[in-house]
Amino acid sequence: MSHVTTSSVTSTVSPWPAPIATAPVRGVVRVPGSKSMTNRALLLAALSGGAAAVRGVPAARDTTLMLGALAALGVPVVLEGTTALVGHHDGLRGGGVVDCGLAGTVMRFVPPAAALAPGPVRFDGDTRARERPMSTVLEALRALGCAVDGDALPFVVHGRGSVPGGVVTLDASESSQFVSGLLLSAARYDNGVTVRHRAVSGEPVPSLPHVEMTVAMLRGAGVAVEALDPHTWRVEPGSVAVRDWEVEPDLSNASVFLAAAAVTEGSVTVPGWPARTTQAGDAIRSILELMGCATVLSGNGLSVRGPAELSGVDVDLHDVGELTPTVAALAALASSPSRLRGVAHLRGHETDRLAALAAEITALGGSATETADGLVIRPARLAGGLWRAHADHRMATAGAILGLVVPGVVVDDIRATSKTLPDFPGTWTAMLAGAVG
């Protein structure tokens, strides 16, 4: 049994020679739980005030940061293996400091909850986190009756024990987390919350499956929530039910291992793949099929078999932007051009993912060009070299995919993967050895 602690120390840079596959990759890879589901479940358990268990918690930095954030708000939390036990409490407590690290789910989900705690709560995080968009959610909190100092990390939420709530209009075109963060705590606000997305550019909310996940989990906790139209959500005031949660495998992280099969003419199975899910990562199935892979979803999980040659793809990733680095790596190895569209919002993620992908693919001899809302990637002969992760877990795993078939790729900071994937290097190496169970 371990009590939760958190630290603002970022990952130590650790250059990693990406292992090359000398034969088709074949294996079964069990993927840890979804960070997105875990952090929503943990926050809902805390808002319920009762004793609840969240099972399937990954040993990832983002989830550790969320556990630490709840502890900073006075919520009793104990981690036993992959189960988080959230204890009964009489309400959230102010006066603490929340370390957001680089976790968007912490910096955007926890402030609306902190507004319910009497007393100030200070938020800070990694250097890059201080550059990530935050003003949208903080301005929304002010409009709903909260007092907030600052417009980006570090900032302070001055809780009064309650929040009036009401109707708020915001531009969530940079991140669906702005919507989800407000909805998750909205039932505890005096008048509930109605969130209206109105973008000056006319862009819809990106990564809508994440909002759908939030809505589904709120309903699972007995909260009355309704999508009034594609851009408006209403949460009625009320309690959050006390319940236990089971977390699904992280399908976006699983996509990286399936990509190993795709680029090596191999076969990889991920057990526990749900038949129905709100996870955006499920879209990797159709994308891999478009690129020439064979996929089979059965009681054993999702199995992917790679083709002799990958085809390029023209695909809108607006709703599944987190898959972009994996798809970009596949596209860089394809035999025909690819166009990845609808992901301008990725410029505000852990790094500017579009600029980073274009730069790193080009550095290996590839052809990748930024567009207004994505990338165009053309066939080219790749060579080994340094692949910079930009402190971004999905950039690091994209480098690992390329390294399977391009000798000499070195990922400069593989420990960035610890954000959502515990011991990625060990799991990757074991998969290549056929020893993952």
107 CB-side CA count, 13 A: 26
Residue 22 phi, psi (nearest 5): -90, -5
For residue 151, the SS3 value is coil
pLDDT score recorded for residue 132: 87
**Virtual torsion, Cα 313, 319, 322, 328, nearest 10 deg:** 10
Query: Quick check: 186 and 211 in contact, CB under 8 A?
Result: no
pLDDT at 226 over 70: yes
- Span 313-324, pLDDT tens digits: 999 999 999 999
What value, to the nearest 5°, has the Cα angle with vertex 360 and ends 312 and 335?
20
Packing angle between helix 177-186 and helix 208-220, nearest 10 degrees?
10
The number of C-alpha atoms within 13 Å of 178 and in the hemisphere containing its C-beta is 30
Note the pLDDT tens digit of each residue in 323-379: 999 999 999 999 999 999 999 999 987 789 999 999 999 999 999 999 999 999 999
Compute the mean pLDDT over every residue in the chain, rounded to the nearest whole number: 94
Rounded to whole angstroms, the Cα distance separating 91 from 103 reads 24
My answer on whether omega of the bond before 154 falls inside 30° of 0, hence cis, is yes
- Between CA 34 and CA 37 the distance in angstroms is 5
- Alpha-carbon span 194 to 132, nearest angstrom: 25
pLDDT at 7 over 90: no
Catalytic residue, from 322, 350, 360, 370: name it: 322
User: What pLDDT sits at residue 3?
Assistant: 42
For the sheet containing 16-17, what is the strand order? 16-17, 409-411, 385-387
Q: Which two tokens stand for residue 166?
A: 């009401």
Please say if 265 is a catalytic residue. Answer: no
Q: Which of 144-153, 196-205, 373-382 has the lowest mean pLDDT?
A: 196-205
CB-CB neighbours of 55 under 10 Å: 17
Q: Tell me, what's the pLDDT at 351? A: 86
Q: Coil, strand or helix: which one is 186?
A: helix
35 in helix, strand or coil?
helix
Q: Are strands 232-235 and 26-28 parallel, antiparallel or unpaired?
A: unpaired
pLDDT tens column, 283-300:
999 999 999 999 999 999
Q: Model confidence over 398-435: pLDDT tens digits?
A: 999 999 999 999 999 999 999 999 899 999 999 998 63
User: What DSSP assignment string belongs to 391-406?
Assistant: T-HHHHHHHHHHHTTS
User: What's the gap between Cα 352 and its chain centre?
Assistant: 15
pLDDT of 348:
82
Structure confidence at residue 323 (pLDDT): 98
Tokens read off for 83: 């189960």
Helix (H/G/I), strand (E/B), else coil: 43:
helix
Residue 179 is inside which H or E element, if any?
Answer: helix 177-186
| φ, ψ (nearest 5 deg) of residue 129 | -60, -30
Q: Are strands 193-197 and 232-235 parallel, antiparallel or unpaired?
A: antiparallel
- Coil/strand/helix, residue 162: coil
